[in-house]
Structure 1
Amino acid sequence: MESKGSWTVADAVDYNGLPADKSKTGGWITAALILGIEVVERLSTMGIAVNLGTGALAVATKLPELRPPTCHHGEACTPATAFQMTFLYIALYLIALGTGGLKSSISGFGSDQFDDKDPKEKAQMAFFFNRFFFIISMGTLMAVTVLVYIQDEVGRSWAYGICTVSMAIAIAVFLSGTKSYRYKKSQGSPVVQIFQIIAASIRKRKTELPQSIVYLYEDTPEGLRIEHTDQFRMLDKAAVVTEGDFEQTLDGIAIPNPWKLSSVTKVEEVKMMVRLLPIWATTIIFWTTYAQMITFSVEQASTMRRNVGNFQIPAGSLTVFFVAAILITLAFYDRVIMPFWKKWKGKPGFSSLQLMAIGLVLSTIGMAAAAIVEQKRLSVAKSSTQKTLPISVFLLVPQFFLVGSGEAFIYTGQLDFFITQSPKGMKTMSTGLFLTTLSLGFFVSSFLVSIVKKVTATSVNGGWLADNINHGRLDLFYWLLVILSGINFVVYVICALWFKPTKSKDSEEMEKGKGFSVEDC
């Protein structure tokens, strides 16, 4: 007969603070509720609205007092008042606040619904990350098609109102599972813990490490301990017991001062976060190439023939191919690759490091395809005097598809990696670290554009990135990104080979699929 402990999750509690019962909490039912609120969040975000901000925007676009009068063609427009602008900015800041709070915690909370020490639930967690991004992409698809159409043809107040109502329903559904979720107890601020260990190790920098790790301080319960590693030995000094490391409580009990002494497990948790940084740094370039798909590629499309019969495709609507590529790739991976890989290799799918590697390769190929298409487009532009060039916009589909497929792989890989390879108490922080790769990728893109414009522009022409792309050399800028992406991939592989996952004391040895080795290639 199975013990009672096998039916509970060691590091999770239920709504009442009791050990979480696997039969009553967590699993796919609660994960589905979390996925539900995420699809609506993406619908709202991509429709330029989310959470409380959608309500404010809906009101601002409907009430005459909160918006300037309609501006008709040929008439002077009445500017918005200070009050109207203030209300608008409040709505936009609410959007940013809501998105930041949701994005940094939703994926971590979703993974908390699965027990990584249970082989069955651990496999389900891998499927969760894949479906998580699929759901996000579904929300994006609805936003760039249905919601954009409503904004343009019906009215913005209707679109924002739909977002508000959808979010309200999603929140109600999400809260309905309150008593069924698994919760992880708060373990204090991870930032404070990191600074405590750094401070303690610096304070003891002249202290020699003991010959055996058994002499290092450890007060973590046996089942929750993390196996000691030999990397970053300097940090181990924070776990060396020295005089003055303990303080007396009012009850006369000696407890360690966290700024002077930390346990081996806490030191290893900080090491885990440090190990994430090389992978974090080498995935930023993907989002730099991604930025080109929603900027320069759309500008390319605006100069090309976009007619399908009597209908002209809006240049911005080509992102539908981008989202479609993501959905097709995720569905193919989920239904074809994962079952095949499990049958052949005995693993539920590619490792997170392999997924990110595939994403980086696809984005590099996508940029090369974009450069080749741009060379063709420029050759047509030189021999044509028409505003709309006699070249089909569908030539851009391969670059959208390749980078879109790359996003499907790298996003799910990053999500899995930064959650499963981070300490349990630092999941939200590591998720935030992952999300910074997106924003930094766009910053790097802006920086590169500025540098290239400054270096290549002359008094005669606008350089590679001229205001009129027909007079520039966007293809050379794309080739530059191909070179940078190729160099970055080599560095990524080196970092991935160096990376070693941390093992818990009571867990089985992590399967080889979770590491990146020559065998995995």
Structure 2
Amino acid sequence: MVGMLPESNAQAADVLGDAWDYGGRPPARSRTGRWGAAAMILVAELNERLTTLGIAVNLVTYLTATMHVGNAEAANVVTNFMGTSFMLCLLGGFVADSFLGRYLTIAIFTAVQASGVTILTISTAAPGLRPAACAAGSAACERAAGAQMGVLYLALYLTALGTGGLKSSVSGFGSDQFDESDSGEKSQMMRFFNWFFFFISLGSLLAVTVLVYVQDNLGRPWGYGACAAAIAAGLVVFLAGTRRYRFKKLVGSPLTQIAAVVVAAWRKRHLELPSDPSMLYDIDVGKLAAAEEVSSKKSKLKQRLPHTKQFRLLFVQKYVPAITETSVQKLLMSFLDHAAINEEAGVDGEASKWELATLTDVEECPKGMKTMSTGLFLSTLSLGFFVSSALVAAVHKLTGDRHAWIADNLNRGHLDRFYWLLAALCFANLAVYLVAARWYKYKAGRPGAAVEMADAEPCLH
């Protein structure tokens, strides 16, 4: 029996305690995760980039040459499609964090994207889903009917929905395959992100070269059919790795916690704050200590944060570094503090989270916003696409049909003026950046920088 102890210890060391396998059991380190699982996730991301850009990069010519849409409208269709794809990353991240988990989110939304691309392929192949070709020598061409454009929009926005849900979870699920507590796997995880961006770039390169060549020389049905086959193959490869994946605990979306604090604060905005912050409702320290003794899983506990002036002002100084300790900061933090006002003595957590939040919940809002950084970054990309659509529409309307900058016949337009406008906007953007950069404070130089905002354990989900 003594001789079996080392073997038991070795088996315990081979099992991860903060994850489970496809069967709901603690995963064995030697048989799950790491590069074997991460490689299959990378294939899904490669095929997603190949598919999405394979559609978008050459879509304007399809809209103008086949669907007989004007240049300005065609450009806006593409930018709106790409903007929606990135904006839906916020929805995908919320669904993954709160309901489905990353694995199911990737699988379901990849299937949605595959269905959208399949419909797009059918619309390019079926004669009834596109207008008749222009008559020889005729300057006027029949524009696509409403039903034909409707099928095209259905295909594009199903594809956008799938892209948003897939893209928001792939990198996180890939990092879940490596154990950060193990130094070897942690270094592998850093290399995983290098390969992740390499595969994004590789997919983009193949889209703008190989797929564009196929679309122009073999036809749109072949080009978009290749996109459909690629995303379907990516889904098959991803599902094939199910037995090797490590699944992490579903921790919920920070959006829910932030929204609960803001709603509770708004409901009690007219109440007067107590002069002593310790009177605000918070976690019972005694119960928390008892829970820590009983529980063996620290990840289930809410960590009590330091209620200091520096910490409370760190939120605004982190995200609005140009503002110093002013009344604006105090106003923001005091507003959120209203969420922790205990209206009834003796309330011990029975109140709804939309009516009463702990002071710790209030101060964890900055942490929640930190975890949303990827989704917020992608949403800024979507805003860029939408602003592009608005700019094209405004220029087209202001320049009119007689002297249009973006004319249907480019030889009669003034694209040079439009590009000069874009150049001026780029210089203005650079000027704004330089001004903002002067205000930036590095983390080490900010007040309250010594306060640790993260939990002792990483919140992977």
What range is the shorter-chain TM-score in? Answer: 0.5 to 0.7
1:506 maps to which of 453, 456, 460: 456
Deviates more, 1:81-90 or 1:177-186: 81-90
1:217/1:241 contact within 8 Å kept? no
State the match for 1:302 in structure 2.
none
Distance 1:473 1:95, change over 3 A: closer
Larger displacement relative to structure 2 (136-145 or 116-125): 116-125
Partner Cα distance (1:159, 1:57) in 2: 11
How far apart are 1:194 and its partner, in Å?
1.4
CA deviations over 1:193-241 (Å, ceiling 9, x no partner): 2121223445376134546999645758673355544435544665676
Residue number among 423, 427, 445 corresponding to 1:482 in the alignment: 427
Equivalent of 2:170 in 91, 102, 106: 106
**Partner of residue 438, structure 1:** 381
How far apart are residue 151 of structure 1 and its match?
A: 0.6
CA distance in structure 2 between the partners assigned to 1:473 and 1:85 by the alignment: 27
Partner of 2:122: 59
Structure 1: distance between partners of 2:150 and 2:395: 37
Give matches, 1:263-282, under 5 Å: 266-274=361-369
Q: Which amino acid aligns with 1:491?
A: A
Q: How does 1:348-359 map to 2 (within 5 A)?
A: none
Deviation at 1:115, TM superposition (A): 3.2
- In the alignment, residue 114 of structure 1 is paired with which amino acid? F
Cα distance in structure 1, aligned partners of 2:125 and 2:391? 41
Aligned partner of 2:199: which letter? I
Tell me, yes or no, if the aligned pair for 1:207 and 1:237 is still in contact at 8 Å. no
CA distance, structure 1, for counterparts of residue 240 and residue 389 of structure 2: 43
Residue in 2 aligned with 1:372? none
List aligned pairs for 1:206-355, cutoff 5 A: 206-210=273-277, 216-217=283-284, 223-224=298-299, 225-226=302-303, 227-228=305-306, 229-230=311-312, 231-232=314-315, 234=334, 235=336, 238=339, 243=344, 246=347, 255=350, 257-262=352-357, 266-274=361-369
Q: How many Å separate the matches in 1 of 2:343 and 2:15?
A: 38
How far the C-alpha of 1:13 sits from its partner, in A, is 2.9
Partner of 1:74: 137
1:356 is matched with: none
Greater RCO (CA < 8 Å, at least 6 residues apart): 2
Change (3 A) 1:86 1:199: closer
**TM-score, length-normalised on structure 1?**
0.55
Question: What is residue 22 of structure 2 aligned with on the other side?
Answer: 15
In the other structure, the counterpart of 2:222 is 158
Measured on the aligned residues, the alpha-carbon RMSD in Å equals 4.3
- TM-fit CA distance, 1:46: 0.9
* Mapped contact 1:71–1:78 kept (Cα < 8 A): yes
Distance of 1:183 and 1:92 partners within structure 2: 31
- In structure 2, how many angstroms separate the alpha carbons of the residues matched to 1:256 and 1:173? 47
Are the equivalent residues in 2 in contact too, given 1:245–1:260 (CA < 8 A)?
A: no
For 1:450-481, what per-residue CA distance to the aligned partner results, in whole angstroms no more than 9, with x for missing partners? 899999x9xxx999xx95355x4956863653
Moved more, 176-185 or 75-84: 75-84
Alignment partners' CA distance in 1, 2:143 and 2:423:
40
How far did residue 432 of structure 1 move?
Answer: 2.4
CA contact (8 A) 1:68 1:79 kept: yes
Give the residue type in structure 2 aligned to 1:468: H
Q: Partner of 2:442: helix, strand, or coil?
A: helix
The number of residues matched between the two structures is 346
- CA contact 2:274–2:280 (8 Å) conserved in 1: no
- Is residue 138 from structure 1 mapped to residue 202 from structure 2 by the alignment? yes
Q: Is the 8 A contact 2:22 2:242 kept in 1?
A: yes
Q: Is the 8 A contact 1:215 1:240 kept in 2?
A: no
In structure 2, relative to structure 1, the CA distance for the partners of 1:213 and 1:86 (3 Å cut) is closer
C-alpha contact 1:43 1:143 (8 A) present in aligned 2? yes
Query: In 2, are the aligned partners of 1:53 and 1:93 still within 8 Å (CA)?
Result: yes
- Shift of the 244–14 alpha-carbon distance from structure 1 to 2, 3 Å rule, reads farther
TM-score (norm 2): 0.61
Is the Cα–Cα contact under 8 Å of residues 210 and 216 in structure 1 kept in the other structure?
Answer: no
Over the matched positions of the two proteins, sequence identity in percent amounts to 42
1:412-427 matches, cutoff 5 A: 421-422=370-371
Instruction: Quote the Cα distance in structure 2 between the aligned partners of 1:450 and 1:93.
Output: 20
2:108 corresponds in structure 1 to none
Report what 1:28 is aligned to: 35
Q: Find the partner of 2:156 among 92, 96, 117.
A: 92
1:121, distance to aligned residue in structure 2 (A): 3.2
Distance in 2, Cα, partners of 1:26 & 1:142: 28
In the TM superposition, what whole-angstrom CA distance separates every residue of 1:381-413 from its partner, at most 9, and x where no partner exists?
A: xxxxxxxxxxxxxxxxxxxxxxxxxxxxxxxxx
Q: CA deviation at 1:117?
A: 3.9
Give the residue type in structure 2 aligned to 1:442: F
TM-fit CA distance, 1:269 = 3.8
Mapping of residues 323-472 of structure 1, within 5 Å: 421-422=370-371, 429-444=372-387, 468=414, 472=417
Shift of 1:98: 1.2
**CA spacing shift, 1:489–1:439, aligned 2, 3 Å:** farther
| Residues in 1 aligned to 2:10 and 2:359: alpha-carbon distance in whole angstroms | 30
Residues 27 and 121, structure 1, Cα contact 8 Å, conserved in 2:
yes
| 1: CA distance, partners of 2:384 / 2:53 | 19
Q: Displacement of 1:159 after TM fit?
A: 0.7
Cα distance in 2 for residues equivalent to 1:68 and 1:136: 35
Structure 2 partner of 1:337: none
Distance change >3 Å, CA 98–CA 195, structure 1 → 2: same
Q: Distance in 2 between matches of 1:116 and 1:214?
A: 35
In 2 relative to 1, CA 141–48 (structure 1 residues): closer, same or farther, beyond 3 Å? same
CA contact (8 A) 2:176 2:246 kept: yes
- Note closer, same or farther for the CA distance 1:489–1:26 as it changes in structure 2 (3 Å cut): farther
Change in 2 beyond 3 A, CA 1:119/1:436: same
Partner of 1:172: 236
Query: Could you give the per-residue CA deviations for residues 167-203 of structure 1, whole angstroms, max 9, x where no partner exists?
Result: 1111011001122222233344533321212234453
CA distance in structure 2 between the partners assigned to 1:5 and 1:207 by the alignment: 51
Which amino acid counterpart does residue 14 of structure 1 have in structure 2?
D
Task: Provide closer, same or farther for how the CA distance between residues 496 and 84 of structure 1 changes in structure 2, counting only shifts above 3 A.
Answer: same
Q: State the 1:102 CA deviation.
A: 1.3
Q: 2:273 is paired with a residue of what secondary structure?
A: coil
